[in-house]
Structure 1
Amino acid sequence: MSQPTQEEELLAQQALAEAAATHASSEVTSGLSQGQIVRKRFFGHTGALIGLAVFAVIFLLAFTSVGAFGIPGWWKYNHVDVSPLVNDGAPTSSFWPLAWGEHPFGQDRIGRDLFAMTMRGAQQSITVMVLIGAIAGAVGAIVGGLAGYFRGWVEAILMRLTDVIIIIPLLLLAAVVGQIANRRDEGSWLTGFAANNGVVILGIFLGFVSWVGLARLVRGEFLTLREREFVDAARISGASNARIIFKHILPNAVGVLIVNVTLTMSAAILLETALSYLGLGVKAPDTSLGLLVAQNQEAFATRPWLFWFPGLFIILICLSINFIGDGLRDAFDPRQKKFKAKTAIETTRHSSTTAPVADASKGS
């Protein structure tokens, strides 16, 4: 009998490693419910945990420090209070020696506390992000799922509606809505509500026009999954369309859905920042991270802290949301398997050492 070539040995070792990884993964998740498997995978994702911790800290700081929803915060200043300049407006915090000070992020030229303004801006960004992500994710999943599963006239109507909305310039539409939402004149109840809740109105409206890209992606995923064998088996067994969609197809498409919802949420923060930077979003006396960057861009050379802290929070929020989305994608995707190299190598070595013994016993 001819000896196996080096390439054949490598292929055999690779197959053993993949089998070991699959076996180890099945052993780890055996006996666990779907929710327990999702939690185990998510909390095993280092990047997602770091992103979750960073976002949790930012969220708590933003909504507890300066107060929200009529509840006062623990910080002594708000975003409109003016006080005498301390340390010529420079930040009073330091790493060594560790100190917080009266104005840890510094003050602007007229004495407003930058920490309070940054926290208020983070509130605005998080509010817009959550509204747009929730609304766009729900509408996009429903439209894309129905179009991809039912096909025919349902797909034709929904996709033509998507084509109509997708050609609307989003930035221009957001600028118009931002201007309307920030009007201070008296009028209808909608105008009065918008004057006091401009960011909420902006987030809701943009959520209903930001779902088109997600709907196309979900439709493509449903078109692929509806032809799979497990869907045919569910149809033959008499499962209803609702059960097939929510129990069989959607769990397999949730990875695409979650990743794109998180990307939409990050884009929502940047969109709100861009609008405020251009003077078309949040307006004084209220503030936002984009408005702070716009107001202090000329002071970058002389008072750089006025630019650094709002910009840093924009970056941290976007990165943390993307990391969380990546972890959720890996946790919810039933096709995702975590490859454990150490276990696979040990199993391969064990198999390679026991194989000659088994061959020898057969020969004897």
Structure 2
Amino acid sequence: MAEEAGLRQEPAGIEPVSEARGLSQGQIVRKRFLGHSGAIAGLAVFAIIFVMAFTSVGYAGIPGWWKYTHEAVSPLVNDGAPTASLWPLAWGEHPFGQDRIGRDLFAMTMRGAQQSITIMVVIGLIAGLIGVVVGALSGYFRGWMEAVLMRLTDVIIIVPALLLAAVMAQLAGRRDEGSWFASFASSNGVLALGIFLGLISWVGLARLMRGEFLTLREREFVDAARISGASNARIIFKHILPNAVGVLIVNVTLTMSAAILTETALSYLGVGVKSPDTSLGLLISQNQEAFATRPWLFWFPGLFIVLICLSINFIGDGLRDAFDPRQKKFNAKKARDAGATPPAATPVAALDSRADDGRTAGGDRGA
């Protein structure tokens, strides 16, 4: 039996998790994240975009290293076409080109990336916080608290976000009324839009977290924590929430990437970021009529939208794999090699058949 147990192997391509030996939880998470090539690539791309966006044209009154701003107008160079080239390698005066009135598209794209990243972070923080609290309370305590919170979630789900955004933009535009909301929105339009979208983007996360808490609250380690006298808050945040962090991270990153697309759609419809400020969606909206004659006005804003969304999704996927202790690494190459060559170990079924043959032969000899 010991020999048979030693010959049992993992399925082809599935590598057992052995990196936990002698390492702390933080070291395990860091090692697994750094071993995820897609997450590292996404992190590198997002870091480059973040540094370029917030250092090139400046932020919050701090000047940047690029000589143009998103509002500066200069004479057209090369008829507004991009001056950057790969061969020969050159950057030029306006690497992304210019619009019809001479504004530098690189500066406008960097400013739009600033706005998108700011809205993405604000929405992720607000939606993540509210979604975790609502889902944890409703899934752990059940009863009347679950009924109230879930009915509130249902009400918010059925309200269209675009309609609410249009109403908010209309209220923010009434500066003559002197309301606190109009004053705040007129001076902090991006922050107001991010807060508003965050307040209506947490419902999906709340439902997922409720389902996770409903499952985990019945586990043995939660019963052990209750018997040992742990408070409800300690059980929620120290025992259950760390085991649900995979679902949390994936949903928050998906919410953040969807927030960029939502901001793009709102700005495209004219109810998001407005002139004289700019955003990636507003750039596409303002230059939609020039698609056939000046396509670069769409290439670069659209490219940055895609890069930001993909990089955030890859980072979230790597964090999910790093934080989830139940994940096992699948190696496709090892699976193919195992399928092409016979395994070194003898299968357990073969051992059983040999044992049966041996018993039969022994019985015959005895007879």
Distance (whole Å) between structure 2 residues aligned to residue 335 and residue 30 of structure 1: 15
Q: Which amino acid aligns with 1:171?
A: L
Distance 1:300 1:230, change over 3 A: same
Distance 1:103 1:162, change over 3 A: same
Distance (whole Å) between structure 2 residues aligned to residue 226 and residue 330 of structure 1: 23
Distance (whole Å) between structure 2 residues aligned to residue 189 and residue 233 of structure 1: 50
What's the CA shift for 1:18? 4.9
8 Å Cα contact 1:181/1:202 also seen in 2: no
What's the CA shift for 1:245? 1.4
Alignment of 1:195 with 2:186, yes or no, is yes
8 Å Cα contact 1:181/1:197 also seen in 2: no
What's the CA shift for 1:35? 1.0
Partner of 1:72: 63
- 176-185 vs 276-285, which deviates more? 176-185
What's the CA shift for 1:349? 4.8
Distance (whole Å) between structure 1 residues aligned to residue 139 and residue 184 of structure 2: 38
8 Å Cα contact 1:181/1:191 also seen in 2: yes
Pick from 200, 221, 241: which aligns with 1:209?
Answer: 200
Alignment of 1:25 with 2:12, yes or no, is no
What's the CA shift for 1:316? 0.7
Partner of 2:321: 330
C-alpha root-mean-square deviation of aligned residues, in Å? Answer: 2.8
SS in 2 for 1:29: coil
Alignment of 1:235 with 2:226, yes or no, is yes
Partner of 1:262: 253
Alignment of 1:16 with 2:6, yes or no, is no
Structure 1 unmatched ranges of 5 or more: 1-8
What's the CA shift for 1:31? 1.3
Provide Cα deviations, 1:187-244, integer angstroms capped at 9, x if missing partner.
Answer: 2444323212101011012111111111011101111111122222322333222222
Alignment TM-score, normalising by the size of structure 1: 0.88
The size of the alignment, in residue pairs, is: 346
Distance (whole Å) between structure 1 residues aligned to residue 160 and residue 53 of structure 2: 31
What's the CA shift for 1:79? 0.5
Structure 2 unmatched ranges of 5 or more: 360-367
Distance 1:183 1:42, change over 3 A: farther
Alignment TM-score, normalising by the size of structure 2: 0.87
SS in 1 for 2:62: coil
Distance 1:54 1:182, change over 3 A: farther
Distance (whole Å) between structure 1 residues aligned to residue 64 and residue 249 of structure 2: 33
- Give the % identical residues: 78
Provide Cα deviations, 1:242-261, integer angstroms capped at 9, x if missing partner.
Answer: 22212221122111111111
Provide Cα deviations, 1:63-87, integer angstroms capped at 9, x if missing partner.
Answer: 1100001101110000110000000
Q: Which amino acid aligns with 1:16?
A: Q
Partner of 1:293: 284
8 Å Cα contact 1:258/1:328 also seen in 2: yes
SS in 2 for 1:59: helix
Pick from 238, 242, 262: which aligns with 1:247?
Answer: 238
- 277-286 vs 177-186, which deviates more? 177-186
Distance (whole Å) between structure 2 residues aligned to residue 64 and residue 277 of structure 1: 26
SS in 1 for 2:153: helix
8 Å Cα contact 2:172/2:181 also seen in 1: no
Distance (whole Å) between structure 1 residues aligned to residue 173 and residue 60 of structure 2: 19
Provide Cα deviations, 1:102-145, integer angstroms capped at 9, x if missing partner.
Answer: 00000000000000001111111111111111100110011001
Distance 1:69 1:186, change over 3 A: farther
